[in-house]
Amino acid sequence: MSETHHLYEHTSAKDVQWESLSFTERAVLCFVFEGERVLLIHKKRGLGKGKINAPGGRIEPGETALEAAVRETQEEVGLIPIQPQECARLHFLFTDGYSLHGTVFRAFSYKGTLRETEEATPLWSPVSSIPYDRMWEDDKLWIPHLLEGRYVEGFFIFDGDTMLDAHVVTGTLLPPPR
């Protein structure tokens, strides 16, 4: 175990200077809704392998977060979300010093055909029974706000898969889908 392994173990999420953090990676998540269902994936590789999450992944150089959300959703499950709308920002700090900034989008229509890929197995989950027990620990703290249509910001400290502390701030109601 490295000397820095427990760097942030006793730090509160409220005490981190998030605005001055130079994030190791920037990533996106995209929640596609169809009626009372939301599209999730069983992630087969990468960070969070084995967990249920929304489609998403790292932003590539020269790409906007919106472009990444559309590309990652198409690459992972074959669907192209139409007019995704930003609905959350997530900030993760891991005790080994790794940090991740996430921009979250929602979309209410899509093109394309759903398919399984090497990265993910897609599943439609009823909005009323999202499988939080199979997801990252932070998800149950902010996804309910997203489902209510509120912009949300989350600040989380993790040690591996274990969430040590969290701070969630809700914002304004987002305009309803057109």
Ligand X SMILES: COc1nc(N)nc2c1ncn2[C@H]1C[C@H](O)[C@@H](COP(=O)(O)OP(=O)(O)OP(=O)(O)O)O1
Residues that bind ligand X (CB under 6 A): 27-29, 45-48, 53, 56-58, 92, 100, 102, 119, 136, 138-139, 158
The Cβ of residue 103 has, within 10 Å, a number of other Cβ atoms equal to 21
The least CB distance from residue 90 to ligand X, in Å, is 7
Instruction: Give the residue carrying structure tokens 């197995």.
Output: 121
The least CB distance from residue 177 to ligand X, in Å, is 22
The least CB distance from residue 178 to ligand X, in Å, is 26
- Helical H segments across the chain, by residue range: 65-77, 139-147
Which residue's CB atom is positioned nearest to ligand X? 46
Residue placing its CB nearer to ligand X in the complex, 98 or 111:
98
The least CB distance from residue 100 to ligand X, in Å, is 6
Residue placing its CB nearer to ligand X in the complex, 138 or 165:
138
* Inter-CA distances, 142 with 76, 115, 136, Å: 23, 27, 11
* Inter-CA distances, 2 with 23, 39, 97, 156, Å: 20, 38, 11, 21
The least CB distance from residue 4 to ligand X, in Å, is 18
Residue placing its CB nearer to ligand X in the complex, 166 or 174:
166
Residue placing its CB nearer to ligand X in the complex, 31 or 110:
31
Residue placing its CB nearer to ligand X in the complex, 118 or 176:
118
Q: Name the E strands within 44-138.
A: 52-53, 56-58, 79-81, 85-94, 99-107, 110-112, 120-126
Q: How far apart are CA 3 and CA 97, in angstroms?
A: 11
